[in-house]
Amino acid sequence: MKLRSSWIFIALCTSCLCVTAQTGFISIDCGGSKGYVDKNGISWDPDGQLSNNVGTIVTVTPPPSAGTTTPLSTIRYFPGDRQNKYCYVFNNHDHGVLKGVTYLIRASFWAGSTLPYATRVPNQTTFQLLVGADVWDEVSIGLPQTGREEIRELYLFASKDTIDICITGQATGSDIPFISSLVLRPLYGNLTSVQSMLNAARNRAFLSKHRINYGAASDSDYIRYQGNDLGDPYDRIWKPDIQGPILTTNKTVATDVYDHPPARVLQTAFEMSDSFNISFPLPLGTSYHFTLYFSEISKEVKKDGQRVFSLQVLNGSSLFGSLVIDLYKLSNNTRNGAYIAYSIFPMYIGSAGPASFVFTKQKGSKFSPIIAGLELFQVFDKDMSLGTDNNEVATLKNITSSYPNLDIWTGDPCLPFEYNWLTCTNNSRPYISTISMNNQGLSGEIPESFKSFKALTRLSLAENKFNGSIPDLSSLVYLETLDLHNNNLTGPIPNFLGGLPALTTLNLNNNNFSGHIPRNLLDKVATSRLNFSFEGNAYLCNEGSTHEFCTTSFGSNKKANFRLIVGTAVKCAFLALLII
């Protein structure tokens, strides 16, 4: 079979690219108390502010592999079922998040031997991880946790200049969630294969499934950023594969190749038998992107045609693509040259079997197939959500930022599920349709910004300490319910209420309104099914008014029920006005 058009193959020659400093790295130590620099030169910051100081911090014994300076020695967990998501929000202002840049995002979880709380299933904790308005993945960890930390990593194209990473709370039926660390690494467009794949997959995120360094000397030799030419400049973590025979070189190998693998990945390789099959059992029904790294590091290979092998990629039992690699030639006729193969369209794995990479030595080739590294990504099944309408989000933030009780709610208000005190329309970019901020101890004046929620049908601010008058909400043309009972609102009842076309329930009980009940509101009670409750207000009619003025407005088939508390010829006060 010929090369498929869905493949691109890049051959590059030797040259050393010096690693740039860790510009743009964001490294958060969850539960950490202060900033520090670890042995790899990565600067970690504590997560106090990012977590809104919600949750509880516990010290844990880090895994033996982690060394002494590690973010894995503390966790932050989020007990309580009040919030259904706990988010870390990275923005442009504080963290330099850039719209239009692709990020590697990695969350790590290390519980140690046990968690300081009960889980639904003994010795196991399970919760969900969210990215922005989408579900990222499920995290399920057996306890006591052994080996290395659990990691979730994805590549995300930032469509805004904020990135929210959230874990779900008990309110979604999960266990109490915890987290050890969170990192963001800007990739700009540098990782060519990833970027072209992201473009082809219309900016779907990729989950990193496998990232392997073949020919590693030891199974504890993970490669990541280490502040020099040998580490990974993007802080990808490469898992060692120690199966042999192993080829190694100490000579410089080109890293200035597509996707810039670290030198140490290209300096070791696994030399296979004449025919070899590298296979990954993967979740079915989804798409994958892969990148394979080859480098010719054997002293024995001196010319074209000496190491020639075919590579067949199988999704299940069908052939996704194939090619023949003459490695010396493809590395531009240099020893220590590198060669990279990657998919530019996702490989779909349907109902049948794993992904397999089958290598076969070609006739006339002196040497067997080799491989230096491999990356395999799962492409998200759907486009990343753009989330709730931007104006709605900004308005909500404007309101909640005044109230510490509500300001801890971060992340997308509607997706992938709603905050538990509001509901949203069923659009791909939702609007907020109901808000219930009852009994939250909210005080001061009711924010006028509520008027900006275009699709609002219900606004319930009952049982707080709001004072002042009702702001102008006349733009809320879909508002059906306005519930402001048990506050300390004063002033006249505003005229616009009678003009709200959709209003069916208006509860102003137990406030301190005074002045007129507007004529149009009384008309509305009389002519429509508006349920208007007005108990517990001191109501003063204007001079010349009588309570009959009000009663007659209700029409003959309605009955107004009010109690006179100040009875003079010119003034009357109602304690209650109840229309039945």
Ligand X SMILES: *[C@@H]1O[C@H](CO)[C@@H](O)[C@H](O)[C@H]1NC(C)=O
- Which residues in this chain contact ligand X in the complex, by CB under 6 A? 11-13, 20, 114, 123, 143-144, 188, 190, 233, 248-250, 260, 277, 279, 314-316, 318, 320, 332, 347-350, 352-354, 356, 358, 394-395, 398, 426, 443-444, 447-449, 465, 467-468, 488, 490, 505, 507, 512, 531, 533
Minimum CB distance to ligand X smaller for 47 or for 259 = 259
d(CA 484, CA 131): 35
Minimum CB distance to ligand X smaller for 69 or for 474 = 474
Whole-number CA gyration radius for the chain: 32
d(CA 269, CA 266): 7
Minimum CB distance to ligand X smaller for 180 or for 360 = 360
d(CA 87, CA 132): 9
d(CA 374, CA 263): 14
Minimum CB separation from ligand X for residue 379, in Å? 11
Minimum CB separation from ligand X for residue 22, in Å? 10
Minimum CB separation from ligand X for residue 510, in Å? 9
Minimum CB separation from ligand X for residue 563, in Å? 16
- φ and ψ at 10, to 5 degrees? -120, 130
Q: Write out the two tokens for 437.
A: 């901020």
Minimum CB separation from ligand X for residue 468, in Å? 4
Minimum CB distance to ligand X smaller for 51 or for 510 = 510
Minimum CB distance to ligand X smaller for 47 or for 483 = 483
Who contacts 175 (Cβ-Cβ below 8 Å, separation ≥6)? 119, 120, 125, 126, 127
Q: Is the dihedral of CA 65, 70, 74, 77 positive or negative?
A: negative
- φ and ψ at 536, to 5 degrees? 75, 20
Minimum CB separation from ligand X for residue 512, in Å? 4
Minimum CB separation from ligand X for residue 229, in Å? 11
d(CA 371, CA 247): 10
Distance of CA 370 to the CA centre of its chain: 38
Minimum CB distance to ligand X smaller for 53 or for 439 = 439
Minimum CB distance to ligand X smaller for 46 or for 447 = 447
Minimum CB distance to ligand X smaller for 188 or for 421 = 188
DSSP, collapsed to helix, strand or coil, labels residue 451 as: helix
d(CA 366, CA 300): 10
Q: Which residue has the tokens 């800007």?
A: 186
Minimum CB separation from ligand X for residue 438, in Å? 12
Minimum CB distance to ligand X smaller for 84 or for 315 = 315
Whether the CB-CB separation of 255 and 269 falls below 8 Å is answered with: no
Helices of type H across 268-424: 327-330, 390-400, 404-407
Minimum CB distance to ligand X smaller for 350 or for 501 = 350
DSSP, collapsed to helix, strand or coil, labels residue 418 as: coil
**With the CA atoms of 142, 144, 145 and 146 taken in that order, what torsion angle do they form, in degrees rounded to the nearest 10?**
-120
Q: Write out the two tokens for 241.
A: 């594969």
Minimum CB separation from ligand X for residue 46, in Å? 27
**In angstroms, how far apart are the furthest CA atoms of the chain?**
116
Nearest to 206 by CA among 135, 153, 133: 153
Minimum CB separation from ligand X for residue 377, in Å? 14
Peptide bond before residue 262 is cis, with ω within 30 degrees of 0: no
Name the residue whose CB lies closest to ligand X: 350
Minimum CB separation from ligand X for residue 433, in Å? 11
Minimum CB distance to ligand X smaller for 316 or for 518 = 316
Minimum CB distance to ligand X smaller for 348 or for 549 = 348
Minimum CB separation from ligand X for residue 34, in Å? 29
Residue 185's Cβ-side half-sphere holds a number of Cα atoms within 13 Å equal to: 22
Whether the CB-CB separation of 265 and 213 falls below 8 Å is answered with: yes
